[in-house]
Amino acid sequence: MTDILYTCVHSKLEDDICKRFLEKLPSDIQNRINRYVRWQDRQAGIFGKLLLVAGLEKYGYSPDCLNNLLYNDFGKPFLDKRIDFNISHSGAYAVCAVSDRGTVGIDIEKIRNIELSDFKGYMTPDEWNHIKNSDSPYEKFYEYWTVKESVMKAYGKGLSVPLKDIRVNKESVRLYDSTWFVKEVSIHSAYKCHIAASVIHLEVNIKKIDFYEEAKIR
């Protein structure tokens, strides 16, 4: 099974509550999160890691399992060969995918009016034509973008992979000699989100977590 957990970052938490959430995480992760200038990015960083902890607990990992994180040569974190996971955040949403079936990557992006021509080099000619000829070119662009980003993250070699080398087909996505299977995740109409996996027929369980409600309870 693959679990997708998500949350909304809709308002600034009080400092003491934010600190309490942050202290649930390992010190090295705390330090990275504290480097963010904007409170939105700090809270999204905290919430994303807490989503990961919640997802991993379902598979039997302890609440302090992030203390055991390891990283590959390209900076992708992992715990062991039994589980794979990935986090993404954009705008007001953070999402996390946790799976015990193959390798996964997830990407969410808020749909914005951008200068599309600046991103032509990231697409194949066919992909670019689909974007330009679409009735909703921005949505189509972010559809391709989140598919490519999710595959790149699942592949696990970071920015060393040019997005143009990720070729999106109807049924699957090709990257060099590997095949990836993608599924759209419906989070909000103003966002595009895709999960990529190394296994076909991916079954996903989607759950929303409200950390603001948790803050009230505690």
Length of the chain: 218
The predicted pLDDT at position 9 comes to 95
Distance CA 59, CA 84 (A): 11
H-type alpha helices, the chain: 15-22, 27-34, 39-58, 125-132, 137-155, 211-217
pLDDT tens-place string over residues 182-202:
999 999 999 999 999 999 888
CA distances from 77 to 35, 73, 120, 199 (A): 19, 10, 30, 20
Chain Cα centroid distance, residue 18: 22
Distance CA 218, CA 13 (A): 14
The predicted pLDDT at position 218 comes to 53
The predicted pLDDT at position 209 comes to 96
Please tell me the pTM assigned to this model: 0.94
Q: How many other C-beta atoms can be found within 10 angstroms of the C-beta atom of residue 145?
A: 20
Distance CA 2, CA 19 (A): 30
| Backbone angles phi and psi of 207, in degrees to 5 | -140, 135
The predicted pLDDT at position 126 comes to 93
- Domains of the chain and CATH, by start: 2-217 (3.90.470.20)
**For the chain, first and last CA: distance in Å?**
30
Q: Are 100 and 82 in contact (CB under 8 A)?
A: yes
Residue ranges of the chain whose pLDDT lies below 70: 217-218
Residue 14, CA atoms < 13 Å, CB-side half-sphere: 4
The predicted pLDDT at position 169 comes to 85
Distance CA 142, CA 195 (A): 13
Distance CA 63, CA 19 (A): 17
Q: What is the amino acid identity at position 118?
A: D
Distance CA 94, CA 72 (A): 23
Paired tokens of 130: 């689909």
